[in-house]
Amino acid sequence: MIRGKTENKTHKNFYLYWLPVIVWAILIFALSSFSTFPKAVQPLFSFDKLAHAAEYSVLSFLLARAFKNSKKYNSKRYFRVLAVICAIVYAMSDELHQYFVPMRTPCIIDLIYDSIGAIIGQKFFKG
């Protein structure tokens, strides 16, 4: 009987905290899978760069929320750092993924904006 309650709480925690992380990561992957027309060199500050920062800010926020509320994560002390690191590693994998998408290329400037967004995401998390 007690085991059933624990399993239900575990499932509830997954749906509440980890499912949003997974859905957001899938959305990022899907958006970066679209081919685009080759662009001229973009300025260092543009809507595209703000979009990169915003999407990884949300990912970092969701990751921090999930790590903080995870029973399996033993040390809740470094959940923010872990969230930022995971978001940046995901950004790196996304840039690598774009190498294989027709008419897309990986871009170090995008990775920098993704990383800045991941750090900014922690400013919004009040956990």
Give residue 126's pLDDT.
79
* Encoded tokens for 20: 């949003």
Number of domains present in the structure of the chain: 1
Give residue 1's pLDDT.
45
Triad 40, 30, 121: Cα angle to 5°: 85
* Encoded tokens for 7: 């399993």
Tell me: the pLDDT tens digits for 45-103?
A: 678 889 999 999 999 999 999 999 887 655 667 899 999 999 999 999 999 999 998 88
- Using an 8 Å Cβ cutoff, are 87 and 121 in contact? yes
Q: How many CA atoms lie within 13 A of 78 on its CB side?
A: 6
Mean pLDDT of 104-127: 91
Domain containing 29 equals 2-35+42-124
